[in-house]
Chain A
Amino acid sequence: MIGEKKYTEEEANEYFKELAANREVIRTTYQYVTDTVTQALRTEDFSKLFSLIPYIESLEDTKAYSFTGRSQRILKYLHIIQLEYNYQCPLFCEGCPDADAVYNKYVSCLLAMRRIAFHLPPESIQEADSFLRTCVLSPFAVYMITSDDRIDATGEFYRHMLDLYRDLWSETEIQMFLGFTHLGGAAD
């Protein structure tokens, strides 16, 4: 077809040769990130934790980043924690002893919010709501976890989340959330 690229076996062979050559770099890069998260959590060294943000972002054009999909979610939760730290909110990583725990918390929250976004039956959503209430997510966490992560985060969804956390968030947090989500005058 006109304009349609046809891939050759030689191109694929090159791609996998490059992947094999970078395999160890990818592994050690990922290991460095997770080890640093764990160390930083254990020592409450937030400078160390946040130093990973420019580090991971500097990898964006490299194979190490593109081949390690988890890095995108790790970067997101680092941004969440940094915003919470700067705004003196309870931190997303609170109670998480290591990198795996933070990652699992991230995924658990995403899965719970997906049940709401995809209109699962009331009992499912009730379960999700209970879980999310125990997590007490910040507006940063709600907004960023649901941005571009395979979830249908509409105005209806954000209103549900606002109702869920209205009594737990401060007025400032509510206004921030309204701003991120363009819910406008939905504070009442």
Chain B
Amino acid sequence: MNPKKFCFILCSNNELMLNECIHYIRQLEIPEGYELDLLTVADASSITEAYNEAMRESDAKYKIYLHQDVFILNRNLLNDLLAIFASDSSIGMVGMVGYDAISPDGLMWHEPRLGNLWLYTKAELYPPLASYRFSLEKDGIFNAALIDGFFMATAYDLPWDTEDVKAWDFYDVYQSITFWQHRYRVVVPNQKYPWCLHDDDRFLGLTHYDTYRQKFLKRYRHLLGKRYFEIQETAPQTRSL
């Protein structure tokens, strides 16, 4: 494992979006002494299988699983992630948007949102992007029961669940729970200016969503309604990998 390396891992099926996403990645400030790598998986049938394969292939300590339609606006993102991970070695994963608890109906967005996402309607409330700098001390981070899968940065490799999660839904929920149950914190930075813009076309592809939601409800019924520390309470006392 190379502790001085970041690797962006992306699944893609749209070259136009992927190329633009990568264009924004290439604008990032790379922390001194660190390397930046990129792995893309085209036309994967299962995001968890693709992520596991990419995770095994990369020796980067810091892996950022990113959707192809996400554009990173905070050019200091890599430095900011390092500051967050360095602040506490039990922080295992960082997201941009998260939720404090697991919704009783399994739909994560039905809980109050943590973090930030670029919204046209709130643009006037943001500070100027050119002068924005995240400060861990002043801005802080939130613990999140779950984070949204469009951006998931990890400092530890834990296998993605390929048993229950066979397509493109709920992988983020399962992985968030997995990290908490391995006693790693999952956090979201308090972003005065959103670090990312997610152009999901305002389209929620829910074709198979309910199939995986039902599996999730069956497996994690005991965690419904629980907050992050309650999920951690269900973890074994020692960390196992």
Contacts and interface: CB of A to CB of B under 8 A. Distances in A.
Contacts of A31: none
B105 A11 contact: yes
B206 interface: yes
A152 B123 contact: yes
A151 to B, nearest CB: 7
A148 B27 CA distance: 25
Contact of B213 (A16, A67, A107, A111): A16
Interface residues of A, number: 33
A127 to B, nearest CB: 9
A165 to B, nearest CB: 22
A124 interface: yes
B103 A111 contact: no
B203 A108 contact: no
Contacts of B120: 148-151
A74 to B, nearest CB: 11
A9 interface: yes
B123 A119 contact: no
B73 interface: yes
Q: Bin chain B's interface residue count.
A: 20 to 34
A149 B121 CA distance: 10
Interface stretch (B54-62, B78-86, B194-202): B194-202
Contacts of A108: 16
A104 interface: yes
Nearest to B200: A69
B237 interface: no
A177 B148 CA distance: 39
A160 interface: no
Contacts of B206: 16, 19, 67
Contacts of B200: 69
B53 to A, nearest CB: 29
Contacts of A4: 112
Contact of B105 (A9, A148, A151): A9
Contacts of B210: 16, 19-20
A51 interface: no
A12 interface: yes
B136 interface: no
A72 interface: yes
Nearest to B128: A119
Contact of B104 (A9, A69, A73): A9
B22 to A, nearest CB: 12
A130 interface: no
Interface in B1-54: 16-17, 20, 23-24, 27
Contacts of B213: 12, 16
A124 B112 CA distance: 36
Nearest to B203: A69
Nearest to A111: B20
A69 B199 CA distance: 11
8 contacts: A9-B217, A12-B105, A16-B209, A69-B202, A70-B203, A111-B20, A121-B27, A124-B27
Interface of A: 4, 6-9, 11-12, 16, 19-20, 23, 67-70, 72-73, 104, 107-108, 111, 114-115, 118-121, 124, 148-152
Given A19-B210, A152-B123, 14 more contacts: A4-B112, A12-B106, A67-B204, A69-B201, A69-B203, A69-B204, A70-B203, A72-B202, A107-B16, A111-B16, A111-B20, A118-B197, A120-B24, A151-B120
